[in-house]
Structure 1
């Protein structure tokens, strides 16, 4: 089976390797971010705590932002177009008073907070500053889009997406989103600002992927079940279906399997970060 190696993309500067990586992501503009604490959260530890965001682009430019009073023990992170940050707790039970999602300004000060529901699988900010949230099956509400003031601006309710119990893959680029959802794994194209057809559902036989990228009439799906964990499956898009094409494996730049990893889908790109979570690699379908 053909192997495709990730291209090295962005690295956490070595000066920060002594800190614990709480989470990491790549934003809609291609900048990588790491949310760091002095050490790993401990059971029963008192929250909140101060944290550091280290931002690095593909060219190696680095920016630091201190966040005050972060409440999420197991956080999700993304950057807003104005330079502020969103930090959210994946589980909402202890934040049911509206404090699950924190919005920080460019100086790291909390400006607002709200809740979006339990069991966050994906949290991605789009180019207009809207917050997309995909949930896993302990809270099967599907996919929703929120403003930074906590107002819902789009929901998958009534969108006629088959088998929407778990948002396995979510790709947000510009103001559009693409998703693959359990149990049927259709490729769902979501364009809320389009009045004629905001949601397009394409039947898809490629199952279990945890990341998707799209470019023109092509798509690629990364991941799968069991021995297909490192699968990179290509497909051709028609009006109503995804037609499977080539299948291979995606590896780290050195050719090894990633093992534990984070993945982020942005347009034509899939970013992968393997343990110890200090470096991002990229696969670009457009290339």
Structure 2
């Protein structure tokens, strides 16, 4: 099988390697962010609010530090807002914590608002307009939803029509005014365009797809690439061509780290033509770019 190596993208500066990486992401504008604490938080019992440091590495290499006060999320998701603030969301929302599940911090690291986007958050991505996309796993039947940064629900997947029931959002890619998703159980490729707010029933195009279990997707022009799968296909990179109604498979490769090894435990983020991959110990992001 052909091997495709990821390209190095962003590195956590060495002076921060002694801290614990709670989570990390790459935002809509290409900056990489790490949410760090002095030590790993206790995961048993109630989580006491704690201070955290966000280390941001921008595409041109400059580094920015933001201290966040009184973070409450266990198993957090992180992304940056266009105004320089941050969103931290708890992947799991216990009933009595609903109002605090999502914390929005201003550019100085102070909490400005909090709200709930629902339990079982697999993906949380902010788009260029500052809207928050949540892709849920199978303990929340909401599937995919889009929220304002103040907590107003703007779109939900019950407008999905031919997509059927979205039981588990395996892959989510948010870039510009478009989101792409690949949900369980039939793994169709969903193209969501919200530039027609007067016609939410026309927001989504559904394409049948034979690739199962992908954890990330990249799209460029008429081409698509799916990353991941079940069992031995964990590191699979499956390419396809888009038609009006389907994804036609073309070729399959093995996606590796820049040194040729496979990633093992990893995080993934899909943004347009790019799939970012972060392997344990989660101090570096590498990238695959379908447009390249």
Contact 1:133–1:144, Cα closer than 8 Å, also in 2: yes
Could you tell me which of 198, 201, 209 is aligned with 2:203?
198
Contact 1:49–1:70, Cα closer than 8 Å, also in 2: yes
Q: Aligned pair 1:50/2:51, yes or no?
A: yes
Q: Report what 1:22 is aligned to.
A: 22
CA distance in 2: counterparts of 1:226 and 1:94, whole angstroms: 34
CA RMSD of aligned residues (A): 1.1
1:176-220 CA-partner distances (Å, limit 9, x unpaired): 100000000000000112356311000000110000000000000
Contact 1:130–1:145, Cα closer than 8 Å, also in 2: yes
Written as runs of structure 1 = structure 2, the 5 A alignment for 1:110-121 is 110-121=111-122
Q: Report what 1:10 is aligned to.
A: 10
Report the 3-state secondary structure (helix = DSSP H, G, I; strand = E; otherwise coil) of the residue aligned with 2:208.
strand
Q: Report what 1:89 is aligned to.
A: 90
Stretches of structure 2 that go unaligned for 5 or more consecutive residues are none
Count of residue pairs the alignment pairs up: 287
Contact 1:273–1:281, Cα closer than 8 Å, also in 2: yes
Q: Aligned pair 1:211/2:216, yes or no?
A: yes
The range that moved more, 162-171 or 121-130, is 162-171
Could you tell me which of 253, 274, 277 is aligned with 1:269?
274
Written as runs of structure 1 = structure 2, the 5 A alignment for 1:115-154 is 115-154=116-155
CA distance in 2: counterparts of 1:158 and 1:37, whole angstroms: 40
Q: Which has the higher helix share?
A: 2
Give the drift of 1:44: 3.4
Written as runs of structure 1 = structure 2, the 5 A alignment for 1:99-248 is 99-160=100-161, 161-194=163-196, 197-248=202-253
Q: TM-score, normalised by structure 2?
A: 0.96
Report the 3-state secondary structure (helix = DSSP H, G, I; strand = E; otherwise coil) of the residue aligned with 1:144.
strand
The range that moved more, 37-46 or 52-61, is 37-46
Contact 2:240–2:249, Cα closer than 8 Å, also in 1: yes
Stretches of structure 1 that go unaligned for 5 or more consecutive residues are none
Report the 3-state secondary structure (helix = DSSP H, G, I; strand = E; otherwise coil) of the residue aligned with 2:262.
coil
